[in-house]
Amino acid sequence: MKSAEAAAALSAMQQSRDRLAAAATCPPERHLAFALLMGGLVAAQAAPPTGTLVIEGLIGLCVAAVVVWDRKRTGMFINGYRAGRTRPLTFAMLFMALALGALGVWLKHGLGLVWAPVVCGVAVTAVAYMMSAVWQRIYRRELRDAV
């Protein structure tokens, strides 16, 4: 292969990676949907047990709707638990949500602050939105820089 052909092939590969990274761009409302689902799981703990189960079931249906939305919008759904540089952020996000969820439940049952899971859910929503945007930046950079 001549050097011009090799350079053209490398350029075509990079353009393909750039198009894939562009396709993986989520609009702000997608980050918001993710954040609301994460925060909703935590806030649901403020409801009575049956209400919590109903809310969690509805959130599960909403997760399925987000998967369908992603596939219609981009033709793909990217699993947050995928291997790569995004995984530590995924686990940090999960740890944060679980910790605030546990705090909300403890405050509700231990101190009688029934509204505490809602406050914790709002905090999870805000942090999850920011972390989702950072996750996307890392993922897109990883796609563009793939070897």
Task: Report pLDDT digits (tens) over 8-22.
Answer: 666 667 776 666 666
Query: Does the residue 15 lie in any domain?
Result: no
Query: Does the residue 137 lie in any domain?
Result: yes
Helix (H, G, I), strand (E, B) or coil at 78: coil
Burial of 1 (0-12, 13-18, 19+ CB in 10 A): exposed
Tally of structural domains, the chain: 1
Tell whether pTM > 0.75. yes
**Is the separation of the CB atoms in 132 and 31 below 8 Å?**
yes
Q: How many residues does the chain have?
A: 147
pLDDT score, position 74: 84
Cα–Cα distance between 130 and 31 in angstroms, integer?
A: 8
For the stretch 55-114, pLDDT in tens is 999 999 999 999 999 999 888 888 887 888 899 999 999 999 999 999 999 999 999 999
Query: Does the residue 122 lie in any domain?
Result: yes
Query: Does the residue 118 lie in any domain?
Result: yes
Cα–Cα distance between 132 and 82 in angstroms, integer?
A: 14
Query: Does the residue 93 lie in any domain?
Result: yes
Domain containing 37: what range?
27-144
Cα–Cα distance between 23 and 77 in angstroms, integer?
A: 11
C-alpha distances in angstroms, 121 versus 27, 52, 110?
22, 13, 18
Query: Does the residue 2 lie in any domain?
Result: no
Query: Does the residue 12 lie in any domain?
Result: no
**Is the separation of the CB atoms in 9 and 100 below 8 Å?**
no
Query: Does the residue 14 lie in any domain?
Result: no
